[in-house]
Amino acid sequence: MSDAPGSNLKYVSRKRRVREDKRFVAGTATFAQDVNLPNMLHCAVVQSPYPRANILSIDASEALAMAGVRYVLTGDEFRAHADDMKFGLNTPQVKWYPLAVDLTRYAGEWVAVVVADDPYVAEDAAELVDVDYDPLEPIIDPEDAYVETDRLVHPAHGSNVLYDGHFYWGPVEEDFAAADDSLSYRVRWGRSSTVPIETFGVVARWDDAVDILDVWASIQMPNYVELLSSTLRLPLNSVRLHQDVDVGGSYGVKRGIKHSVIVGYLSRKLRAPLRLIEDRLVNMASGDAHGPDRIFDTQVAFNNDGKILSLKIRALDDAGAYPSRAPFQLAKPISAIVGPYKINSVQYDAISVTTNKTGQVPVRGFGQSPTNYMIETAVDKVAAHLGMDRVEVRRRNFINHDEFPYQIPSGSKYDSGDYHTVLQKALDTAQYDELVKRRDTARAAGRLAGIGVATCLEPGGGNNIFEYLMNPSAEITTFSEGCEIRVDPDGLITGIMGSTTSGQGHETLVATIIGEDLGFDPDDIRVVHADSLNAPITRSPVASRMAIMLGSSAAGAAQKIIDKVMAIAAHNLDRPSDELEYADGTVFDRSDPGRALSWKELCFIAHKAYHKMPEGMEPGLQAQYVFQVPGGGQLPDEHQRVQIYPCFSFQSHIPYVEIDPGTGHVSILDYVIAHDCGTMINPDIVRGMVIGGLAHGIGAALYEKFAYRPDGQFESATFADYLMPSVYEIPMVKDVDHCTPSPLTSHGQKGSGEGGYLGAPAAIAGAVNDALSPLGVSIHELPMRSHLIEGLIHAKKASQ
């Protein structure tokens, strides 16, 4: 079922307040660090100053002698009582413990945890833990790590290579041989992340009386409860995650599993509730929340008319010391490996290496943003090489609106799209011809001015089969999401979801869809985040999936409610249900609308009047629905082709920049985004996601970098070193929407959380290189910091 906007929808796609916002403006939201339990103890971590060192001894006696200090936990003790944290790759000798055992693997790695009555005392005592290290030479550069045989991050693993996979989809060599031309290039995506303003925090309390570990955490992660319980060797149903905790930003990175197993272990050991809140320095250096750090070497084959035939891609990603699920960020891009273009064949070499750096986690887009930067660079390069317009080359390669569903070489069937129209909307909004004149006028006046044109596909709602592609022992072919609706005897409606929320507005999503489908004002519908022992199935709000998956499951549950009241009505009105109609809670006879049962009557019967129920019907009025990922559920074929994500949103970005030739500073003066995520459930939420993602993209393109010295010391532990966009760095973005409904979801909706971040780095890189093009120089690494651009400009001028 699909509804184009502007049809008879009452609540979906309408501008309505986002219900979550009230508690945020009132200051009454409950974040993990607002959870304050009686007699709660506090943790502080002891960090390794060396990127790679043998731990010779740990002496905690002085710390333990301090008043108020309760305990000091080391890696040895943890390993003796718990397992290593598993992360999905088939690398059994890469052991990840929350505290270093024998060997430290990056500067800042946690070596011990101090527990005290008071957080100030815990931090004081952490400085008194005396660790004796034998420093070793680290391995920092990812290309070096790939071939290194001696300096191994995980010696038992036998190399620094975590994954080295090769994919061939379609006749790559034939297409290269047949093409008029080809070119090759390297681009580098720098190590950055989305760095939420809330650091990671977790509170745990073990209750002996019920054998339950209660956890409150600022978490956004599938498999969190599974990993927590298995690491601590607890039954899965002994962990209760309180999913009503508000998460202060995540964008993929709030994955504090190591923090959580520590407090989980200690709360059992010490029979006390514990809290561990990262301070900012710990968060940056050792929260294990860095993002992709990727080198692409790409060859592109094309014809003289601008048609791109084939790609050969080598992607080398630096996962850091403990990779979590980071290597899988090389696999999501497989689902859109040709972007929105009709490219016939692709070779993809995906390599993940480990180095002596902070661990990497999934970041917004799960690896798709670096890949999109690489793809869009290819299109710009082809256009420049042929002397063609960048817009025209894109148009010539786009999949046409009438070609959907469209299967790409790696197996994905794109559900729907209208790329030509969305790009045209962006061009119209940007007044592209005028923009070109403005750029040329600026250039004539001696300024460095440039326009970027980039597009991106946002795969949403994936089924986890990427894990199988990289580790065939993981036969996981679904990634479902559930929702439950309970209607009480008064007829009031409650939607029940699992999962925490970190700003996506899931309560609004559920209320809007239930309200739409059942015909009730969403403001009258309660929505709760049940804890993990009570909630329907959830795989968490990753993969741009909640509008698709949670939204469709809410609609599925609503349909079950309708089916049930229709059956009750048919029984009581003595009419076959196909002659009855449901509208806004009432069921009536289509040919005799006065013959009807009201919502109140239906709810009373369901809850109280069993004698009026159809024979054998379950009492009450409640329904749970678990939505399966559309088009999924299959293993890859013999050519490793598979459907990973069902829905594909699309955006076009057009920024206008000017560069100060003296400093290399890039000013983004204007920015247009046209976006198409199918039906928007709440337009304000979509707009916020689009522009917020764009802001992350500006950070990744121009400013944000976790920098390391060649000796492995970390240089970006504060907000004075790791630069993020303030209001001054974000232009007054103009956004325009378009709707190509997905045929696969309840209301035609697709994902919208990632597109801004997927398109912006590519677009800004295109604009910067357009601005630099009159000088004959270009830059192919992110972030494009001022000093790099200034260096290029001055080297060019010096050579002239």
Partner 1 sequence: MNAMDISVTVNGRVIRDSVIPRMSLLDFLRDRAGLTGTHMGCEHGVCGACSVIFEGVPIRSCSVLAVQANNKEVMTVEGLSNDDGSTGILQDAFRDAHAMQCGYCIPGMLVASHALLESNPNPDLDDIKEAIGGNICRCTGYIQIIEAIQLAADRMTEAKT
Q: How far is the CB of 720 from partner 1 (least distance, A)?
A: 6
Query: Which stretch, 287-295, 310-318, 644-652, 712-720, contacts partner 1 (CB under 8 A)?
Result: 712-720
Q: How far is the CB of 698 from partner 1 (least distance, A)?
A: 8
Residue 523 contacts partner 1 per CB under 8 A:
no
By beta-carbon proximity to partner 1, the closer residue of 190 and 503 is 503
- Among 103, 527, 695, 762, the residue binding partner 1 under the rule CB under 8 A is 695
Residue 282 contacts partner 1 per CB under 8 A:
no
CB 142 within 8 A of CB 353: yes
By beta-carbon proximity to partner 1, the closer residue of 113 and 685 is 685
Q: How far is the CB of 735 from partner 1 (least distance, A)?
A: 9
Q: Which positions from 144 to 183 touch partner 1 by CB under 8 A, shown as an x/- string? A: ----------------------------------------
Residue 667 contacts partner 1 per CB under 8 A:
no
Q: How far is the CB of 25 from partner 1 (least distance, A)?
A: 4
Query: Which stretch, 100-108, 132-140, 725-733, 762-770, contacts partner 1 (CB under 8 A)?
Result: 725-733
In degrees to the nearest 10, what's the CA dihedral of 459, 462, 467, 470?
-30
- Among 593, 719, 787, 794, the residue binding partner 1 under the rule CB under 8 A is 719
- Among 260, 356, 416, 504, the residue binding partner 1 under the rule CB under 8 A is 504
By beta-carbon proximity to partner 1, the closer residue of 140 and 673 is 673
- Among 6, 728, 776, 800, the residue binding partner 1 under the rule CB under 8 A is 728
Residue 716 contacts partner 1 per CB under 8 A:
no
Q: How many residues bind partner 1 (CB under 8 A)?
A: 59
Query: Which stretch, 70-78, 195-203, 474-482, 635-643, contacts partner 1 (CB under 8 A)?
Result: 195-203
By beta-carbon proximity to partner 1, the closer residue of 160 and 679 is 679
**Residues between 6 and 65 with contacts to partner 1, criterion CB under 8 A:** 17-18, 20-31, 33-34, 36
Query: Which stretch, 153-161, 179-187, 188-196, 509-517, contacts partner 1 (CB under 8 A)?
Result: 188-196
CB 367 within 8 A of CB 332: yes
**Residues between 113 and 132 with contacts to partner 1, criterion CB under 8 A:** 120
Q: Where are the beta strands (DSSP E) in 386-453?
A: 406-407, 413-414, 448-451
Q: How far is the CB of 687 from partner 1 (least distance, A)?
A: 7
Residue 248 contacts partner 1 per CB under 8 A:
yes
Query: Which stretch, 191-199, 342-350, 706-714, 741-749, contacts partner 1 (CB under 8 A)?
Result: 191-199
Tokens 């960020």, residue located: 329
Tokens 């090389």, residue located: 330
CB 220 within 8 A of CB 280: no
Instruction: Assign 600 to helix, strand or coil.
Output: helix
Q: How far is the CB of 322 from partner 1 (least distance, A)?
A: 24
The upper half-sphere exposure of residue 554, i.e. CA atoms within 13 Å in the direction of its Cβ, equals 33
Closest Cα partner for 523 from 28, 24, 20, 26?
20
Residue 280 contacts partner 1 per CB under 8 A:
yes
How remote is the C-alpha of 695 from its chain's centroid?
15
CB 397 within 8 A of CB 341: yes
Residue 502 contacts partner 1 per CB under 8 A:
yes
Which DSSP string corresponds to 667-703? EEEEEEEEEE-BS-SSHHHHHHHHHHHHHHHHIIIII
Hey, what amino acid is at 291? Answer: G
Distance CA 462, CA 412 (A): 11
**Residues between 288 and 347 with contacts to partner 1, criterion CB under 8 A:** none
Q: What's the token pair of residue 628?
A: 């399966």
**Residues between 751 and 780 with contacts to partner 1, criterion CB under 8 A:** 756
- Quick one: the chain helix, strand, coil %, rounded to 5? 35, 25, 40
What DSSP character marks residue 629? P
Q: How far is the CB of 44 from partner 1 (least distance, A)?
A: 14
Query: Which stretch, 152-160, 242-250, 437-445, 785-793, contacts partner 1 (CB under 8 A)?
Result: 242-250
CB 466 within 8 A of CB 474: no
Residue 285 contacts partner 1 per CB under 8 A:
no
Residue 625 contacts partner 1 per CB under 8 A:
no
- Among 9, 724, 775, 788, the residue binding partner 1 under the rule CB under 8 A is 724
Closest Cα partner for 168 from 389, 420, 350?
350
Pairing of β 53-59 and β 130-135: antiparallel
Q: How far is the CB of 699 from partner 1 (least distance, A)?
A: 9
By beta-carbon proximity to partner 1, the closer residue of 140 and 203 is 203
CB 556 within 8 A of CB 757: no
- Among 80, 209, 444, 727, the residue binding partner 1 under the rule CB under 8 A is 727
Integer Rg of the chain from CA: 27
Residue 416 contacts partner 1 per CB under 8 A:
no
Q: How far is the CB of 375 from partner 1 (least distance, A)?
A: 24
Q: How far is the CB of 729 from partner 1 (least distance, A)?
A: 9
Work out the angle at residue 445's Cα, subtended by the Cα atoms of residues 444 and 448, and round it to the nearest 5 degrees: 80
Residue 246 contacts partner 1 per CB under 8 A:
yes
Q: Which positions from 197 to 236 touch partner 1 by CB under 8 A, shown as an x/- string? A: xxx-------------------------------------
- Among 172, 247, 330, 561, the residue binding partner 1 under the rule CB under 8 A is 247
CB 99 within 8 A of CB 73: yes
Would you say how long the chain is, in residues? 800
Q: How far is the CB of 486 from partner 1 (least distance, A)?
A: 27
Residue 688 contacts partner 1 per CB under 8 A:
yes
Burial class of residue 265 in the structure, from the number of CB atoms within 10 Å of its CB (0-12 exposed, 13-18 middle, 19+ buried): buried
By beta-carbon proximity to partner 1, the closer residue of 15 and 611 is 15
Distance CA 686, CA 468 (A): 31
Pairing of β 308-318 and β 345-353: parallel
Residue 694 contacts partner 1 per CB under 8 A:
yes
By beta-carbon proximity to partner 1, the closer residue of 283 and 397 is 283
Closest Cα partner for 313 from 326, 295, 327?
295
Distance CA 388, CA 625 (A): 51
CB 343 within 8 A of CB 378: no
CB 339 within 8 A of CB 204: no
Q: How far is the CB of 506 from partner 1 (least distance, A)?
A: 11
Residue 684 contacts partner 1 per CB under 8 A:
yes
Tokens 């689902």, residue located: 335
By beta-carbon proximity to partner 1, the closer residue of 346 and 668 is 668
Q: How many CB atoms within 10 Å of residue 676?
A: 27
Question: What are the φ and ψ backbone dihedral angles of 161, each rounded to 5 degrees?
Answer: -90, 120
Pairing of β 481-487 and β 454-460: unpaired
CB 479 within 8 A of CB 539: yes
Which DSSP string corresponds to 56-79? EEEE-HHHHTSTTEEEEEEHHHHH
- Among 279, 490, 618, 711, the residue binding partner 1 under the rule CB under 8 A is 279
Q: How far is the CB of 731 from partner 1 (least distance, A)?
A: 9
By beta-carbon proximity to partner 1, the closer residue of 491 and 697 is 697
Q: How far is the CB of 119 from partner 1 (least distance, A)?
A: 8
Burial class of residue 149 in the structure, from the number of CB atoms within 10 Å of its CB (0-12 exposed, 13-18 middle, 19+ buried): exposed
What DSSP character marks residue 599? H
Binding site for partner 1 (CB under 8 A): 17-18, 20-31, 33-34, 36, 120, 194-199, 246-251, 277, 279-280, 502-505, 684-685, 687-689, 691-696, 718-720, 724, 726-728, 730, 732-733, 756
